[in-house]
Structure 1
Amino acid sequence: MADRLSDLCILIGIIFWFWGTFPLLGRRSILFKLHSLSVADTLGSMTMIIGLLIKIPQEWPLLTLALISLVMWNTVLGYVLAYCSSDHPSDSSS
């Protein structure tokens, strides 16, 4: 039962990865494309890590660290992308 649940989580994660890739082919803005890609990629990766956690529970410290790092990295990257894309005043006072 646990093996099937683990495989299902990994399969759902792969589906999320592909689902996030399809908006890249559309005509929407680059920020919409990056947002949809990063959200789907994060959810897919988290689901796969949970599937691995079910499959090999003795590796829970490493997989938990990977899960936390994934969430933190993608959150910070989202803020950086939003800041870089916004119209902020330049700091050059010459």
Structure 2
Amino acid sequence: MEVLRAGSGGMLDLPTVYPALHRLERAGLVKNSWSEAAGRRRRAYELTAAGVKALAEQRARWREFSKAVSAVLESGVSWATPA
């Protein structure tokens, strides 16, 4: 959550990511393991091979969508309706 918050300049300040991680795990896109740091057990998540593939596909879709939205916004079309 700290990485999301810092990487987004505070725009993605989520209270928890665990519901999303559990859904991704059930879908076989991430797997978890336990590690120990500073005497505390911590759960770590990593992408599976299917997760890596799904991430690449979603990134490509997002780039296409973002490019289309940017093209519309930069087209100079006036979105105001005449009075």
TM range (shorter): 0.3 to 0.5
Structure number having the greater strand percentage: 2
Computing the radius of gyration from Cα coordinates, the structure with the larger value is 2
TM-score normalised by L of structure 2:
0.38
Q: TM-score, normalised by structure 1?
A: 0.34
